[in-house]
Amino acid sequence: MTATLRLTEALIARPSVTPRDEGCQTLIAERLNTLGFRCETLESGPPECRVTNLWARKGEGRQPTLIFAGHTDVVPTGPLTAWASDPFVPSHRDGKLFGRGASDMKTSLAAMVVACEEFLTATPQPPIDIAFLLTSDEEGPATDGTVVVCQALTQRGERLDWCIVGEPTSVERTGDMIKNGRRGTLSGKLTVKGIQGHIAYPHLARNPIHLAAPALAALAAETWDAGNAFFPPTSFQVSNIHGGTGASNVIPGTVVIDFNFRFSTESTPEGLQQRVTALLAEHGLQASADYGLDWTLGGRPFLTPPGTLVDAVRDAIRAETGLETQLSTTGGTSDGRFIAQVCPQVIELGPPNATIHKIDECVAVADIEPLKNTYRRVLENLATQASAARITP
């Protein structure tokens, strides 16, 4: 059993259902302390759902800095009876390691730690700083986790140059896909106002569903942008519609429509909001008088084009696996959206994601060491470039 596998199992054995950390960060901090990292715990949030964050750094901030970022919290297990084995007892079957967090993302965390151990053993005084940013609030609301740490780092003026987030990005084999960006997410809650009444007397009422329908059709049919070389076109999707009293003979007084944009760097939250308001007006709906609209910006898009970090990661994957990795911005959001606001180059690299959040989540044991070796090779590549003074972060 390798050091990476042992640490992965130790992390899986801790039932760190969001926002609980259950000592995962302490276990990691103990390993990092022995390597000379200065480890700091930043807690945030109300007492009943306290979030634990770890910031650890080796170096004084005068050299280019690579951050390993990730989360120790996992999603709930679902019905335990549906699992073939206890989700918090690491189990091996058919060459796979089973347990909640096996893929998302305790394998990545273990691989990052062991990669640093191997790298620093070979290079005790590296020409780069190394840091870890870990949270127990990624699978939850994400309001007291990475975003809080990033705010603190900004206030301190910490130097941040590159970041690898350990999200499970691969498809078939570790390294076949990395995320060099993510789309932004913008949600809206549209409440269209009507007048409740008897369905047999529509002239005495005002049906908000009928009022909203033309505008909703226009929003669904709109082309928001064409995307670009890295991003698909911005999408608009309705997630919920709530209207009516439950009775078949009552015209409702309001209808509430929840929708979401996943948007590329070709659009901005402000521009999307303005266009929605304009489309509503074109279809006879005026703000305040006819509707209310609440917006929630979940995150802005970010993009790291080919350059220092992407090239170092590509070379590391090629050397370790022989794969030519695919750059992608698909999928949901990650804490990379917060880190990208304070760190100029952010990518995501982790194991295959086919079983994340599922019953019997697992990772192929054969994928674990290549991931650790790839992380170590990235450290080596960046250190080589830094020592040759070829890097301008």
pLDDT digits (tens, 9 = 90+) for 140-153: 999 999 999 999 99
pLDDT digits (tens, 9 = 90+) for 64-81: 999 999 999 999 999 999
- Per-chain mean pLDDT for the chain: 96
> CA–CA separation, 150 vs 174, rounded Å?
28
Q: Is the pLDDT of residue 299 over 70?
A: yes
Which pLDDT score, from 0 to 100, does residue 332 have?
86
> CA–CA separation, 213 vs 382, rounded Å?
54
Which pLDDT score, from 0 to 100, does residue 90 have?
98
pLDDT digits (tens, 9 = 90+) for 5-46: 999 999 999 999 999 999 999 999 999 999 999 999 999 999
Residue 43 catalytic?
A: no
Question: What b/e readout covers 371-393, taking b as 16+ CB neighbours within 10 angstroms?
Answer: bbbbbbbbbbbbbebbeeeebeb
User: Cα torsion at 76, 80, 82, 87 (round to 10°)?
Assistant: 70
Angle at alpha carbon of residue 139, lines to 138 and 141, rounded to 5° = 75
Q: What is the DSSP letter of 148?
A: H
In DSSP notation, 28-74 reads HHHHHHTTT-EEEEEEES-GGG-EEEEEEEES-SSS-EEEEEEE--B
Least confident of 104-108, 234-238, 296-300: 296-300
pLDDT digits (tens, 9 = 90+) for 237-295: 999 999 999 999 999 999 999 999 999 999 999 999 999 999 999 999 999 999 999 99
Residue 373 host element (H or E): helix 368-387
Residue type at 272 in one-letter notation: L
Q: Which of 9, 21, 73, 144 is catalytic?
A: 73
Residue 73 catalytic?
A: yes
Total residues belonging to the chain: 393
This prediction's pTM: 0.91
pLDDT band with cut points at 50, 70 and 90 for residue 390: low
Q: Which residues contact 226 (CB under 8 A, 6 or more apart)?
A: 233, 266
Q: What is the DSSP letter of 299?
A: E
Q: Which of 129, 138, 348, 360 is catalytic?
A: 138
Q: Is the pLDDT of residue 393 over 80?
A: no
Residue type at 1 in one-letter notation: M
Longest dimension (CA), the chain: 82
Which pLDDT score, from 0 to 100, does residue 363 have?
98
Q: What is the DSSP letter of 246?
A: S
Q: Is the pLDDT of residue 226 over 80?
A: yes
Distances (CA, A) of 158 to 52, 145, 237: 20, 18, 39
In 3D, which of 219, 391, 367 has the Cα closest to residue 309? 391
Which pLDDT score, from 0 to 100, does residue 331 have?
87
Residue 132 host element (H or E): strand 129-135
Distances (CA, A) of 190 to 48, 56, 217, 285: 31, 43, 14, 11
Token pair belonging to 170: 């691969």
> CA–CA separation, 263 vs 185, rounded Å?
6
Question: Is the sign of the CA dihedral 269, 275, 278, 280 positive or negative?
Answer: negative
> CA–CA separation, 307 vs 169, rounded Å?
19
In 3D, which of 237, 234, 393 has the Cα closest to residue 329? 234
Q: Is the pLDDT of residue 389 over 80?
A: no
> CA–CA separation, 104 vs 362, rounded Å?
9
